Amino acid sequence: MKQFSTLLLFIAILTFSISCSQNKKPEKVKKLVNDIIQIEPDKLSGTEPITQLDKIAAEKADKTIMIYKENIAQSLEEAHNYNKILIVVGTHTLIKIVNLDDCQKSNAWGTCMPKGIALIQKSGSFEKETGYINNFIGMPDGQTRKMYLFK
């Protein structure tokens, strides 16, 4: 009986800790975009906060650009006319561009890619990374990439 009680306690603690870590995901997204978009507390929740943020950004952005290899250089040039830039890749990556002028040449994308901060969802949790955005948006392919520009 004592082993059964211990097992139940272990399962309860594990479930609680997983639940708490899941609830922190929306907070990480909010924290990254807080200076760009004010998000109501109930708008981001669950396991897919990037998908939810994608919809909010589409509504609040001054301009939205679908990113492809053919238009990335022009899109980044246009981004210089805006104060804040977010990029969403699929349902798993959120990038905030922090410096358009500090860039690194990307052979795959054919242009100089700026510095950013990314939240990348892997195995159910977010990893925060800082670096050049070509390292976060992957190779040019059919994946959906949207750039949101804010004045």
Check residue 6 and give its pLDDT.
54
Check residue 39 and give its pLDDT.
83
- d(CA 128, CA 106) in angstroms, rounded, equals 21
Q: At 64, which helix (H) or strand (E)? A: strand 63-66
Q: Which segments of the chain have a pLDDT < 50? A: 7-9, 12-23
Check residue 30 and give its pLDDT.
87
- d(CA 80, CA 100) in angstroms, rounded, equals 7
Tell me the pTM.
0.82
In tens, the pLDDT along 37-55 reads: 988 877 887 778 999 999 9
Check residue 1 and give its pLDDT.
59
